[in-house]
Amino acid sequence: MEYLSAQEYRHIVRIVGNDIKGEKKMVIGLTQIKGLGFNFATAILDTLKINPNSNIGNLTEENVKAIERLITDPIASNFPTWFLNRRKDIETGTDLHLLTSDIPFTLRNDIERERVTASWRGYRHLSGLKVRGQRTRCTGRKGGAVGVAKGGLAAPAKKGGAGAPAAAAPAGPDGTPAAETPSPAAAEKKE
In this prediction, residues 50-55 reach a mean pLDDT of 90
Sign of the torsion angle spanned by Cα atoms 68, 74, 79, 81: positive
Q: Where are the domains of the chain?
A: 12-80
Q: What is 12-80's CATH topology?
A: Helicase, Ruva Protein; domain 3 (1.10.8)
Do residues 88 and 81 touch, judged by C-beta distance below 8 A? no
Do residues 10 and 22 touch, judged by C-beta distance below 8 A? yes
- The Cα–Cα gap between 20 and 67 comes to 13
Determine how many CB atoms are found less than 10 A away from the CB of residue 136: 11
**Cα Rg for the chain, rounded, in angstroms?**
36
In this prediction, residues 14-42 reach a mean pLDDT of 90
> How many degrees, rounded to 5, is the angle at CA 72 between CA 71 and CA 76?
90
pLDDT of residue 2: 43
Its pTM surpasses 0.75: no
pLDDT of residue 101: 87
- The Cα–Cα gap between 52 and 46 comes to 8
Do residues 33 and 100 touch, judged by C-beta distance below 8 A? yes
% of the chain with per-residue pLDDT over 70? 70
> Which of 144-148, 165-169, 172-176, 182-186 bottoms out in mean pLDDT, i.e. has the lowest?
165-169
Q: Tell me the pLDDT tens digit for each residue of 168-181.
A: 556 666 666 655 55
In this prediction, residues 47-74 reach a mean pLDDT of 90
Do residues 52 and 43 touch, judged by C-beta distance below 8 A? no
User: What single letter denotes the amino acid at residue 175?
Assistant: G
DSSP state of 151: S
Q: Tell me the pLDDT tens digit for each residue of 64-106.
A: 999 999 998 888 888 888 888 888 888 888 888 888 888 889 8
